[in-house]
């Protein structure tokens, strides 16, 4: 299979669009967990990472299909990493704003009663998301290699 010729502007556009889609899904899931009283179950945050993985794999598949060629390893890694980072920065901003409205959310992240910083929860979400984005970008890199090796067809 031929290597896809993807312009930098097309990559920026797909990072922005899929980052916004991820952010919208995270926000809906967060509000759903809140109203179902599941926020205290911290292992449900993994759903955000599964969402990022599925949407990132779709992002890679869509670009391969559109451009009729495989995407190189490093380009896939950077695209998925920046998409995940962008979406979690947006989600961190949402968490920061929401922490002002709901003091319970701040208590979930701050176990120290003396610390009243609303920024802690947002920073934790951003760093966790960036860390997860690295791992998911590596997964997407191997997913995109299926097209290069001819294991998958368009």
Q: Could you report the per-residue pLDDT of 74-102, keeping only the tens digit for each?
A: 888 999 999 999 999 999 999 888 888 87
DSSP code per residue over the chain = -PBP---HHHHHHHHHHHHHHHHHHHHHHHHHHHHTT-TT-GGGGHHHHHHHHHHHHHHHHHHHHHHTSB--HHHHHHHHHHHHHHHHHHHHHHHHHHHHH-HHHHHHH---TT---THHHHHHHHHHHHHHHHHHHHHHHHHHHHHHHTSS--
pTM of the complete model: 0.85
Q: Could you report the per-residue pLDDT of 41-59, keeping only the tens digit for each?
A: 777 778 888 998 999 989 8
**Spans of all domains in the chain:** 8-149
Give pLDDT, residue 106.
67
């Amino acid at each position: 299979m031929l290597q896809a010729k993807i312009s930098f502007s097309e990559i920026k556009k797909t990072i922005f669009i899929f980052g916004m889609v991820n952010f919208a899904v995270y926000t809906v899931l967060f509000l759903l967990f809140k109203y179902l009283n599941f926020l205290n179950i911290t292992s449900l945050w993994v759903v955000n990472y599964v969402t990022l993985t599925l949407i990132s794999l779709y992002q890679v598949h869509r670009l391969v299909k559109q451009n009729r060629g495989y995407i190189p390893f490093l380009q896939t890694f950077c695209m998925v990493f920046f998409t995940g980072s962008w979406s979690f920065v947006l989600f961190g901003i949402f968490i920061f704003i929401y922490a002002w409205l709901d003091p319970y959310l701040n208590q979930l992240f701050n176990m120290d009663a003396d610390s009243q910083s609303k920024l802690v929860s947002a920073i934790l979400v951003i760093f966790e998301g960036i860390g997860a984005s690295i791992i998911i970008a590596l997964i997407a890199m191997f997913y995109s290699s299926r097209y290069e090796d001819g294991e998958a067809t368009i």
